[in-house]
C-alpha cells in the first residue's frame, strides 16, 4: 500500500472499495427517497467521493510498476476477490469519476427537464448502479467479479436509456435492443470466463495469466479468448457490433448520452486491453493474429463506414453517435498495432475522446434544453442565439476533427506516429480519410449553427425559449477548455496514456 496523499490514511487504505461501494450503497438510498433533488445530491456526493478516491489511487500508481492490490473483505487473492489498480485503470477511474461529476452538474437542470418528477429518484438510483458498475469493472482484478459489475452497469444503463428524452417512446425499443445485444455480449463474456476457469481453475486475473503462460497451445484458452473478445467488443461498439449504439445514444435523455458517450464504451475498451495484454499474453500468436487480422480491419472499416453513416444523419445526436463508433475504431486501431506506442495512442484517444464527446453532447443537451431542438436542420442560427454554448460546441467539433491546438489533434498525431512506427501507411491513409469525413460532418453542423439568423422561437411547447442554466454552462466550458488546454499542453495526458500502456504491457507477468 502506498502512502496517502491528501485523504486520511484510513480511508485511503480502502479507497478501491469505497470507489465502488459508496455509489452502490447510496443507490439503494436514492431509490428509497421520493425527492429527485435529494437523489441527485446523493449521486453528486458519491461521484465526489469516487473522484477523491480516484485521484488518490491515481497518485498512488504514478511510481514505476506501482500496483495497488486490495483484498475485498480481507480474503486474500487468489481465493478472495481482488481489486487491482495500476497505471492503466487508475487513469480510467480518474476519467470515469471526473466526467461523471461534470455530467452530474449538467444533470440537475437537464434531468429535471426531461424526466417525470416521480421517476427522478429512481433514475438517479439507476444511474448510480451504472456508475458503480463501471467503476467496478475498471477496478476489479477478478474475472468473474468483472462480469458481475459489467451486468450491474448494464442493467443500470438499460433503465436510464429507456427513460427516454422527453418520454420518447423510441427509447424503449432502443433500450430493449441494447438489452438483447448487451445480454448476448455478457453471455459470451461469461462463457469465455467459463472456458478460462476450465483451463486454469482460477478466476483471479493475475492468477489466470500465470497459469495460461504455463500452458501454451491450449485450445480451450483460445476459445475463451474468442468469446471474451467478441462479448466485450459488443459492449465497446466494435464495428459491426455497434448497431445498438446509435439509437441508444439518440433517444436516451441528454444527460445519459453525455455520460455514456464519455465512459461506457471506454470501460469496455479497457477490458479488451486488459484481457488482450494482461490476462492473455500479447506474445502469444493467437492474440497477436487476432489483433492484426480481426481487430484492425474491423477498426478501420468502422472508422470509415461509421463516419460515412454519420454524414447522412439528420438527428444531431445520432450523427455524433455514429462518430463515436468511428472514434472507437481509432482506439481499436491503436490497440490492433499491439505495440506500446499503439496502445498509448489508443488510450490517449480514449481520454481525449471523452473530453470532446462530453463537450459536444453537453452542448447539444443545452440546445435541446433551451430551444427543444434535436435535428441538425433545427440548429439553424443557434450561433447567434446562444453564442457561448455554440462556441463550446465548435471547440468540441474542431477537436473531433483533429484541428491543431486541440486535444483531438494530439491523439491523432500519436496514432499516426504509432502507425508509421509499424510501417502501417495504409492505416495512416485510413486515419486521414476518416478525419476528412469528420471535417464534412462537423462542417455540416457548424455551418448550420453559425450561418443563419437567430431563430425567433424554439421548438419547445408553445414556442418557449429558455436561458442556459449556469449548471450547464460551467461543466460544458470546463470540457471545452480542457480540449484546448490538453491540445497545447499535452504532457499530462500523454504521460497518463503512456503509463497506462506501460502498465498494460508489464501487467501480465507481475
DSSP secondary-structure letter at 374? -
DSSP secondary structure of 78-111? TTS-EEEE-HHHHHHHHHHHHHHHHHHHHHHHHH
Q: Which three cell numbers stand for residue 346?
A: 489508443
Count Cβ atoms within 10 A of the Cβ of residue 220 and give its class: 0-12 exposed, 13-18 middle, 19 or more buried.
middle
In the list 342, 365, 487, 507, the residue contacting other proteins (rule: CB under 8 A) is 487
- Under 8 Å between Cβ of 381 and 447: no
- Told to check if 79 binds other proteins by CB under 8 A, we report no
- Told to check if 240 binds other proteins by CB under 8 A, we report yes
Residue entry with cell 480542457: 482
We find the least distance from the C-beta atom of residue 420 to other proteins, in angstroms, to be 8
3-state secondary structure 199-225: HHCCCEHHHHHHHHHCCCCCHHHHHHH
**3-state DSSP call for residue 283?**
coil
In degrees to the nearest 10, what's the CA dihedral of 417, 421, 427, 431?
Answer: 0
Contact window for other proteins (CB under 8 A) among 22-30, 172-180, 198-206, 254-262:
172-180
- Told to check if 257 binds other proteins by CB under 8 A, we report no
Residue entry with cell 487473492: 77
Q: With respect to other proteins, which residue has the nearer C-beta, 72 or 241?
A: 241
We find the least distance from the C-beta atom of residue 10 to other proteins, in angstroms, to be 40
We find the least distance from the C-beta atom of residue 317 to other proteins, in angstroms, to be 15
- Told to check if 379 binds other proteins by CB under 8 A, we report no
- Under 8 Å between Cβ of 242 and 302: yes
Q: With respect to other proteins, which residue has the nearer C-beta, 135 or 265?
A: 265
We find the least distance from the C-beta atom of residue 189 to other proteins, in angstroms, to be 11
Tell me, by CB under 8 A, how many residues bind other proteins: 55
- Told to check if 413 binds other proteins by CB under 8 A, we report yes
In the list 65, 75, 79, 405, the residue contacting other proteins (rule: CB under 8 A) is 405
We find the least distance from the C-beta atom of residue 292 to other proteins, in angstroms, to be 9
- Told to check if 485 binds other proteins by CB under 8 A, we report no
Q: With respect to other proteins, which residue has the nearer C-beta, 225 or 371?
A: 225
- Told to check if 414 binds other proteins by CB under 8 A, we report yes
- Nearest CA-CA partner of 291 in 244, 245, 346, 243: 346
- Told to check if 234 binds other proteins by CB under 8 A, we report yes
Site string for other proteins, 201-230 (x = CB under 8 A): ---------------xx-x--xx-xxx-xx
Contact window for other proteins (CB under 8 A) among 28-36, 67-75, 165-173, 327-335:
165-173
Q: With respect to other proteins, which residue has the nearer C-beta, 65 or 405?
A: 405
Q: Which three cell numbers stand for residue 177?
A: 435492443
Contacts of 4 (CB under 8 A, 6+ apart): 11, 12, 56
In the list 63, 201, 404, 463, the residue contacting other proteins (rule: CB under 8 A) is 404
Distances (CA, A) of 38 to 26, 29, 353: 11, 10, 31
In the list 170, 440, 467, 470, the residue contacting other proteins (rule: CB under 8 A) is 170
Count Cβ atoms within 10 A of the Cβ of residue 342 and give its class: 0-12 exposed, 13-18 middle, 19 or more buried.
buried
- Told to check if 387 binds other proteins by CB under 8 A, we report yes
Contacts of 493 (CB under 8 A, 6+ apart): 348, 351, 352, 407, 410, 486
Task: List the end-to-end C-alpha distance of the chain, in Å, as a whole number.
Answer: 16
Contact window for other proteins (CB under 8 A) among 49-57, 196-204, 353-361, 407-415:
407-415
- Told to check if 410 binds other proteins by CB under 8 A, we report yes
Binding site for other proteins (CB under 8 A): 169-170, 173-174, 176-177, 180-181, 184-185, 188, 216-217, 219, 222-223, 225-227, 229-230, 233-234, 238, 240-241, 243-244, 247, 284-286, 288-290, 293-294, 298, 384, 387, 404-405, 409-410, 413-414, 417, 450-451, 487-491, 494
Amino acid at each position: 500500500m502506498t502512502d496517502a496523499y491528501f485523504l486520511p490514511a484510513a480511508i485511503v487504505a480502502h479507497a478501491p472499495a469505497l470507489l465502488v461501494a459508496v455509489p452502490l450503497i447510496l443507490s439503494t438510498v436514492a431509490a428509497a427517497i421520493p425527492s429527485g433533488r435529494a437523489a441527485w445530491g446523493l449521486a453528486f456526493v458519491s461521484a465526489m467521493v469516487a473522484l477523491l478516491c480516484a485521484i488518490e489511487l491515481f497518485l498512488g500508481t504514478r511510481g514505476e510498476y506501482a500496483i495497488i492490490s486490495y483484498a475485498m473483505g480481507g480474503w486474500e487473492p487468489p481465493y478472495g476477490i481482488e481489486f487491482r489498480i495500476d497505471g492503466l485503470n487508475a487513469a480510467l477511474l480518474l476519467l470515469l469519476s471526473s466526467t461523471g461529476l461534470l455530467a452530474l452538474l449538467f444533470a440537475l437542470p437537464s434531468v429535471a427537464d426531461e424526466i417525470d418528477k416521480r421517476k427522478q429518484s429512481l433514475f438517479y438510483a439507476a444511474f448510480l448502479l451504472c456508475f458503480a458498475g463501471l467503476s467496478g469493472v475498471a477496478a476489479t482484478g477478478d474475472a468473474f467479479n468483472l462480469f458481475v459489475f459489467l451486468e450491474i452497469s448494464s442493467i443500470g444503463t438499460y433503465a436510464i436509456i429507456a427513460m427516454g428524452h422527453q418520454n420518447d417512446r423510441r427509447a424503449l425499443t432502443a433500450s430493449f435492443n441494447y438489452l438483447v445485444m448487451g445480454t448476448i455480449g455478457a453471455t459470451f463474456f461469461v462463457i469465455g470466463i467459463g472456458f478460462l476457469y476450465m483451463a486454469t481453475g482460477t478466476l483471479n486475473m493475475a492468477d489466470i495469466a500465470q497459469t495460461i503462460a504455463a500452458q501454451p497451445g491450449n485450445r480451450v484458452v483460445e476459445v475463451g479468448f474468442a468469446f471474451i473478445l467478441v462479448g466485450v467488443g459488443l459492449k465497446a461498439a466494435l464495428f459491426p457490433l455497434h448497431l445498438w449504439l446509435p439509437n441508444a445514444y439518440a433517444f436516451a435523455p441528454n444527460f445519459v448520452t453525455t455520460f455514456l458517450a464519455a465512459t461506457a464504451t471506454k470501460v469496455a475498451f479497457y477490458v479488451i486491453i486488459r484481457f488482450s495484454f494482461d490476462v492473455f499474453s500479447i506474445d502469444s500468436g493467437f492474440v497477436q493474429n487476432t489483433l492484426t487480422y480481426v481487430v484492425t480491419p474491423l477498426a478501420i472499416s468502422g472508422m470509415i463506414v461509421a463516419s460515412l453513416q454519420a454524414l447522412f444523419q439528420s438527428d444531431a445526436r445520432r450523427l455524433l453517435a455514429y462518430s463515436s463508433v468511428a472514434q472507437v475504431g481509432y482506439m481499436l486501431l491503436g490497440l490492433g498495432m499491439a505495440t506500446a506506442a499503439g496502445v498509448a495512442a489508443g488510450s490517449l484517444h480514449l481520454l481525449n475522446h471523452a473530453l470532446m464527446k462530453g463537450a459536444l453532447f453537453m452542448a447539444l443537451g443545452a440546445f435541446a434544453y433551451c430551444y427543444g431542438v434535436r435535428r441538425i436542420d433545427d440548429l439553424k442560427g443557434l450561433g447567434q442565439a446562444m453564442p457561448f454554448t455554440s462556441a463550446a460546441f465548435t471547440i468540441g467539433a474542431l477537436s473531433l476533427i483533429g484541428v491543431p491546438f486541440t486535444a483531438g489533434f494530439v491523439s491523432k498525431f500519436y496514432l499516426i506516429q504509432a502507425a508509421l512506427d509499424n510501417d502501417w501507411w495504409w492505416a495512416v491513409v485510413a486515419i486521414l480519410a476518416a478525419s476528412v469525413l469528420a471535417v464534412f460532418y462537423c462542417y455540416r453542423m457548424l455551418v448550420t449553427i453559425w450561418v443563419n439568423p437567430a431563430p425567433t422561437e424554439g421548438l419547445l411547447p408553445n414556442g418557449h425559449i429558455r436561458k442556459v442554466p449556469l449548471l450547464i454552462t460551467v461543466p460544458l466550458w470546463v470540457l471545452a477548455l480542457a480540449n484546448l488546454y490538453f491540445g497545447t499542453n499535452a504532457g499530462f495526458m500523454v504521460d497518463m496514456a503512456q503509463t497506462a500502456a506501460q502498465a498494460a504491457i508489464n501487467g501480465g507477468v507481475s
